[in-house]
Amino acid sequence: MRETYGYIRVSAKDQNIRRQLDALKPYEIPQDNLYIEKQSGKDFVRPMYRRLMKRIQPGDLLILKSIDRLGRNYTEILEQWRILTHEKQVDVVVVDFPLLDTRTGNGNLTGKFVADITLQVLAYVAQAERENIRQRQAEGIAAAQRRGVRFGPVKAELPSDFDRVYKDWQAGRMTEDEVLELCKMKRSTFYARLAEFRNEHYPLEEILRSFDEEE
C-alpha cells in the first residue's frame, strides 16, 4: 500500500514550521509519516531525513513545500532528487513548484521525465546566476582598484613621529618594549616596518648594517 510522507526542515534561526505544515496539510499526511527537522543549514546534519530515507519504500510519495528542503545548493538537491526518484523509486511532489511532481495518472502529464528536466534547468539557471554574480563582483573590484580603492587588511604603519622615537631608541633612551608599546605592533610587524623605514630614511645605515651581518 502506498504511503505518503512529508519532510519539513527549518533552520536554527527560523524555528517557525507553521507555513510548511499548512502547505502540506491538504495531502493528509499521517502524523507518524511527518518528519520535521530543526537543523542549522551550516552543519546540515539531518537525522530526521536519514530516518525518513530508511523508512520510505518504492512507490511511496514524499511531499515537500519547496525544493531547497533537500539541500543547501543545487548540487546536493540534484543528488537527493536522483536518490529519491531513481534509487528509492518514490514519487516526489514540491508544493511551491507544480512542475516538480513525478506522479503520473490523475490527469498529471508531468511525471519523472519532465520533472527531471525541470530540475536540471533550475540547477543550470542557479549556477549561471552564481557565475554572473561572481563576474559582476570581479568586475566591480577591478573597477574599484583602477580608481585607487584598496582591499584587504589595512597595513600597520609606524607613527608619524617615529623618526624621533627611533633616535631615542638608538640612543638608549627607550627600550624595545617601550617602542613596541608606542607603535602598537607585534614584534614581527614592527621589524618589517622598521626595515622599510631604515631603507627610506637611513639607507647608508642599512647598507653598513648588512656589511656587519656578513662579517
Backbone angles phi, psi at 106, to 5 degrees: 50, 35
Are 179 and 171 a contacting pair, CB within 8 Å? no
Q: Which of 11, 40, 160, 188 is catalytic?
A: 11
Domain identity same for 114 and 207: no
Residue 148: strand, helix, or coil: coil
C-alpha cell at 73: 545548493
| Whether residue 122 is found in the same domain as residue 174 | no
Answer yes or no: is 141 within a domain.
no
Q: Which of 107, 129, 151 is the last residue of a domain?
A: 129
List the end-to-end C-alpha distance of the chain, in Å, as a whole number: 91
Residue 11 annotated to the active site: yes
Q: Find the domain containing 69 and state its range.
A: 4-129
Residue 204's pLDDT band (cuts 50, 70, 90): low
Closest listed residue to residue 117, CA positions, set 98, 99, 130, 97: 99
> Residue 203 has what pLDDT?
60
Residues paired with 10 in a beta bridge: 38
User: Which three cell numbers mark 197?
Assistant: 623605514
pLDDT of residue 202: 67
19 and 103, same domain (yes or no): yes
Cell numbers for 30, please give them: 499521517
Residue 148 lies in a domain: no
Distance CA 23, CA 64 (A): 9
Question: Is pLDDT of 214 > 50?
Answer: no
pLDDT of residue 83: 93
Helices (H), the chain: 18-24, 47-55, 74-82, 111-146, 162-170, 176-183, 187-201, 203-214
What total number of domains does the chain contain?
Answer: 2
Instruction: Give domain status of residue 18, yes or no.
Output: yes
Q: What is the pLDDT of residues 105-157, one digit of tens each?
A: 655 556 778 888 888 888 877 777 778 888 888 888 888 777 777 666 667 88
